[in-house]
Amino acid sequence: MPVAWNRVLIVGASSGIGAAMAQQLAARGSQVAAVARRQSELDAVAAKASGRIRAYAFDTTRFEDVAELFERIAKDLGGLDAIVYAAGVNPRVVEHEYAFDKDWQMVDVNMIGAMAWLSPAAATFEAARQGTIVGISSIAGERGRRTNPGYTASKAGMTAYLEALRNKCSRYGVNVVTAKPGFVDTDMTKGLPGLFWLISADEAARRIIAMADRGRSASGFVPRRWALVALIVRHLPSFVFRRLNF
C-alpha cells in the first residue's frame, strides 16, 4: 500500500537531506512540519514551498520538551501520517584526538534524539494502526571505523534501534524504514578526503522517499550500490580492518 505523505513531520529539516525531503514532499502536496535548531535556515526552506512547510525552531537535544512539541505539531497539522528523523552531526575528529564532548554530542543528536522523537510517533501510529517512520542512519554504522568512533557508534545504535522499532511496530500496520546513505554532498562532508560515489542531497532525498513509497518496512543503502561496500566491510577480518584509514 503506498505511503500517505499528507501530513509529515521532519526533524533536521534546515539543510541537507532533511531540507531536500521537506521541499520535495511539499512539492507533491504534503503539509510538512519542519523542525530544526536554526530559525533563519528553516525559514529559507519554508519560503520555497508556497505555504506547505511550517517551521518550528527547536534544539533536538531538549529531550524533555519533545513530547509537548510533537503533540502540538500533530494538532497543527490535523494529524500525522509520517515522520522523518534526519537530524545528525559529525564534528571533525583528528588523529590522536579523543574528545568526549564531541562523542556526547553525536550520540545525543544522532541516536538519543531519534529515540526521543520516534517513540511518541510509534505510539501514535500503533494506536492508529497506520503510519510511516523514516530514520536516516549511515553506512558508517556498519562497522567500527577508526576515523570517528563516536559517529560510528551513534549510527550503529540508530540502525539497531530502528530495526528493533520495525520488529515491534510492523505487526500493527506501522512501516519503519531505515535509510543508510553513503557519501552525500552536504555541509557534513565538505572538505573530507577520499569521497567517492558522491551524490547530492536532492538525489539522496528522492531515493529515500522512493524507498518509503513502497509502503513496507525496509532497510537499505542509498544508493543501493553501497550494499556491496557494506558486505565487504562487514566480512573483513578485524586485523585487516583496523589497518585501514576508513
The per-residue pLDDT for range 168-195, each reduced to its tens digit, is 999 999 999 999 999 999 888 877 777 8
Domain 7-241, classified CATH 2.40.50.140, yes or no: no
The confidence score (pLDDT) of residue 124 equals 98
* Residue-level pLDDT at 187: 83
pTM, whole model, 2 decimals?
A: 0.95
Concatenated DSSP letters of the chain: -PPP-SEEEEES-SSHHHHHHHHHHHHTT-EEEEEES-HHHHHHHHHTTTT-EEEEE--TT-GGGHHHHHHHHHHHHTS-SEEEE---------TT---HHHHHHHHIIIIIHHHHHHHHHHHHHHHHT-EEEEEE--GGGGS--TT-HHHHHHHHHHHHHHHHHHHHHGGGTEEEEEEEE--EESTTTTT-TT--S-EEHHHHHHHHHHHHHT-S-EEEEESTTHHHHHHHHHHS-HHHHTTS--
Tell whether the model's pLDDT for residue 1 goes beyond 60. no
Q: Tell me the pLDDT of the chain averaged across its residues.
A: 94
Q: Residue 2 — pLDDT band, cuts 50, 70, 90?
A: low
Residue 129 reports pLDDT greater than 70:
yes
| Domain range list for the chain | 7-241
Average pLDDT on 159-168 reads 97
